[in-house]
Amino acid sequence: MAALWPLVKSKVLKHRAKKFTQHQSDGYVKIKRNCLKPRGVESSVQRRFNVRILMSSIGYGNSKKTKHICLVVTMTERATQLATRATNPNANRASNPNTTRATNPNVTRATNPNAGLP
């Protein structure tokens, strides 16, 4: 039987990784680097003059379709059935006690309380 393929392949685009900075925070110590949107009427950043500091807006967020991609074991099995690629197939395996996990046998019980338990 031929493998099943999804109708629409959506590429996961991540949001902006670089932090937004507050205007004039590089020149003054009293102005923190935390991003605050400029509110002044005459602010050059607010009026977007001369391609100044970028302002944070809702447009830099993730896509709603690919926002919450965290896969559980059953979802990864379904992904293999549909012949799709999971972005993070080992996401929930470390916290799930029923799955096998590679551990160091030299770790003592003081640092690993679950060592040696069935």
Task: Tell me what percent of the residues of the chain surpass a pLDDT of 90.
Answer: 3
In the structure encoding, which two tokens stand for residue 103, read together? Answer: 């551990």
In this predicted model, what pLDDT tens digit does every residue of 1-58 receive, in sequence order? 566 766 666 676 777 888 888 888 989 999 999 888 888 888 888 888 886 788 888 8
DSSP 78-101: HHHHTT---S-TTSSTTT-TTS--
45, 52 contact by CB (below 8 A): yes
Query: Residue 104 phi/psi, 5° resolution?
Result: -80, 120
In the chain, the amino acid numbered 20 is F
Length of the chain: 118
36, 80 contact by CB (below 8 A): no
User: Which of 43, 66, 40, 41 has its CA nearest to residue 53?
Assistant: 43
